[in-house]
Amino acid sequence: MSKRDFLSITDISIGELRTILDLAVRPPSSLGRPLDGLGAALIFEKPSNRTRQSMEIAVTQLGGHPVYTRGEEIQFDVREPVEDVARTLAGYHGVICARVFRHAVVERLAAASSVPVVNMLSDTSHPMQALADVLTMEQVHGSLAGAVIAWVGDFNNVARSLGEVSVMLGAHIRYASPAGYGPSDAELARLGALGPGTAASVSAPLDAVSGAIAVHTDTWTSMGQESEKAARLEAFRGYSVTSDLMSHADPSAGFYHCMPAYRGVEVDAAVMDGPMSRAIQQGHNRLHSSRALLAFLMGVRA
Ligand code: CP
Ligand code: NVA
């Protein structure tokens, strides 16, 4: 079997996505120890809480040894080329995982590595988060086929990966973003072609959440965009997820946030910490979906 990478959700088929979600709800020990005797390189150019912690535990549950390394130590293309890092680490590890500023870096790692490469967040995608997002929504709501999912806020890495996975599972995702911060028409067309679901832009948050079974948001200022923070706070005025906005969603709707969350900015504390919030469940599911993804890449199937 040739090695598989996971740089974005589109690296797996709809059937493979289903397999990974099924593996995620199995007892950890039933997946065996596919990383037995192997390392897992976990390289972080940006801070992390959930991703680092859940990946270290997932690797250990699969019998492997996680090696956490800060980006400052590796210094891609400064201390040595990305390709030299990939070829060297592939001799120690069963999998190379990286959180990077530029998506091209994980693409170059994957091209040079003989072992699977996993994107733990880039400027364009956060596919590990999307796996936990759909796992959580399925636990809460059941099948997502035909369901309406709302995204209120920035069309960022998390929003893009969530759109990909939602359309693949037959859901209808609606994005409400300020002008200049939403998906392009080409991006919506690309998303819509990924599966039986649909992806659309709407002008107002109210139009996105109406009838939705899940309302998602994320920070308005992603890591690496700190210099834009003041302009973004101004541009996103009116796009906070409030209790009033949630009252227009389906009565069973859940609130979802990948975290870290900024209360009083993209979400009110009453929503983030209220009964509709599924954010902590999402965070916990990062462990289960990551373990499933790593097992899948190491060849574990049903
Ligand atoms: N959601 C997420 O990726 O969290 P961390 O940045 O804390 O890893
Ligand atoms: N969009 C955020 C997600 C953090 C987990 C960022 O890239 O900083």
CA-nearest residue for atom 6, ligand 1, is 48
> Residues 87-124: pLDDT tens digits?
999 999 999 999 999 999 999 999 999 999 999 999 99
229 or 302, higher pLDDT: 229
Q: Is the pLDDT of residue 141 over 80?
A: yes
How close is the Cα of 222 to the center of ligand 2, in Å?
5
Closest CA to 255 of 84, 88, 136, 172: 136
Q: Is 125 in the pocket of ligand 2 (CB under 6 A)?
A: no
Give the ligand at the shortest distance from the Cα of 286: 1
Q: How confident is the model at residue 35 (pLDDT cuts 50, 70, 90)?
A: very high
The fraction of the chain above a pLDDT of 70, given in percent, is 100
Give the ligand at the shortest distance from the Cα of 220: 2
Give the ligand at the shortest distance from the Cα of 124: 2
Residue of 218, 226, 267 to test ligand 2 pocket, by largest number of atoms within 8 Å of CB: 218
Residue 225 class from Cβ within 10 Å (0-12 exposed, 13-18 middle, 19+ buried)?
middle
Which residues are registered as beta bridge partners of 175? 151, 201
How close is the Cα of 301 to the center of ligand 2, in Å?
30
Q: Is the pLDDT of residue 1 over 90?
A: no
Q: Which part of the chain is CATH 3.40.50.1370? A: 32-125, 129-283
- For 139, the 3-state DSSP assignment is helix
Average per-residue pLDDT in the chain?
A: 98
Q: Which atom of ligand 1 is nearest to the CA of 128?
A: 3
CA atoms of 218 and 228, how far apart (whole Å): 16
Going by the DSSP 8-state scheme, the letter that residue 12 receives in this structure is S
CA-nearest residue for atom 1, ligand 2, is 222
The domain 32-125 having CATH identifier 3.40.50.1370: the answer here is yes
Q: Is 157 in the pocket of ligand 2 (CB under 6 A)?
A: yes
Residues 6+ apart with CB under 8 A from 136: 254, 256, 278, 281, 282, 285
| pTM recorded for the entire structure | 0.98
Residue of 42, 44, 45, 48 to test ligand 1 pocket, by largest number of atoms within 8 Å of CB: 48
Q: What is the CATH number of domain 129-283?
A: 3.40.50.1370
Q: Which atom of ligand 2 is nearest to the CA of 225?
A: 8
CA atoms of 274 and 246, how far apart (whole Å): 11
Which residues are registered as beta bridge partners of 215? 150, 255
Are 28 and 54 contacting, i.e. CB atoms less than 8 angstroms apart? no
> Residues 44-98: pLDDT tens digits?
999 999 999 999 999 999 999 999 999 999 999 999 999 999 999 999 999 999 9
CA-nearest residue for atom 3, ligand 2, is 222
Q: Is 219 in the pocket of ligand 2 (CB under 6 A)?
A: yes
Residue 101's pLDDT is what? 98
Residue 302's pLDDT is what? 75
Q: Which residues are designated catalytic?
A: 99, 126, 129, 218, 258, 286
> Residues 172-214: pLDDT tens digits?
999 999 999 999 999 999 999 999 999 999 989 999 999 999 9
Q: Is 261 in the pocket of ligand 2 (CB under 6 A)?
A: no
User: What CA–CA distances, in Å, run from 61 to 28, 54, 68, 290?
Assistant: 7, 10, 16, 11
How close is the Cα of 234 to the center of ligand 1, in Å?
25
CA-nearest residue for atom 6, ligand 2, is 222
